[in-house]
Structure 1
Amino acid sequence: MELLLLAPTKEVDVDFLVFVERYATDLLKWDILTLFACNPSFSASAAQIAQYIGRNAYLIQPELGDLALLGILEQIPGPDNQMLYQLTPKPHLRRVIMKFADQLAEQPLI
């Protein structure tokens, strides 16, 4: 009789998988989520966020709006009628966002 040796299995974090499927749907959102995960107290305009992540402000505006509608980011009024974005204060979402950034740091795509 042959014994089959199985590699140890990792426990699957369902909340994390749901987060990735629901919120981290493209590389641009990955960049935005990573920025806020690494700087959880950060609040900035779309133009400032675009500059930090090296993207076009026009292109990130819809993504920021989506993340705000989904409850990941909050929109707050800023100076000169500018909308500012900041990370949600909800602990459950913040924890998963931080885990997402940690996973990317441990296993980058490139």
Structure 2
Amino acid sequence: MNGDAFDPDCPTRLILDRIGDKWSVLVVLSLRDGPRRFTELRDAIGGVTPKVLTQTLRAMARDGLLTRHVFAEVPPRVEYELTPLGQSLHAPIQAVADWAEHHVNEVMAARQSATG
């Protein structure tokens, strides 16, 4: 099945919502170098509440973008890792993040001139 993002009934739009969500983007970028624990992700991302991060991680796992590994320890240790599908998102997301970092001043200046 091929998708058509311009068709309002196409599930491609659900995928775009997932990968276009700022928290999902930051999770992919944070997991690029390998697995991390929840608190490591939360600290690396910054500004995300535990509830929102939990919801994001669950949705990404449901969509096959990451895996959740529970280690039988006391207390239990949980790590999150990108799947091959999730890793395939890293390059396009990194390109968008690089563009955003490169053009942030221009965008902020345009925003300022539009409101001021």
**Range of TM-score over shorter length:** 0.5 to 0.7
Aligned to 2:23: 28
Residues 46, 64 of structure 1: 8 Å contact kept: no
CA RMSD, 1 decimal? 2.6
Structure 1 segments (4+ residues) deviating >3 Å: 107-110
> Which AA in structure 2 matches 1:69?
R
Partner Cα separation in structure 1 for residue 37 and residue 86 of structure 2: 21
Secondary structure at the counterpart of residue 107 of structure 1: helix
Aligned to 1:82: 77
Name the structure, 1 or 2, with higher relative contact order (CA <8 Å, separation 6+).
1
TM-score (normalised: structure 1): 0.64
Aligned to 1:56: 49
Partner Cα separation in structure 1 for residue 90 and residue 17 of structure 2: 12
Per-residue deviation, residues 30-79 of structure 1 (Å, max 9, x unmatched): 21122123x2x2x1222221011112223201100111111111111134
2:62 to 69, 86, 94: 69
Q: Which runs of 5+ in 2 are unaligned?
A: 4-11, 105-116
Partner Cα separation in structure 2 for residue 67 and residue 56 of structure 1: 16
Shift of 1:22: 4.9
Partner Cα separation in structure 2 for residue 44 and residue 93 of structure 1: 14
> Which AA in structure 1 matches 2:31?
F
Partner Cα separation in structure 1 for residue 50 and residue 91 of structure 2: 24
Identity between Structure 1 and Structure 2 (%):
11
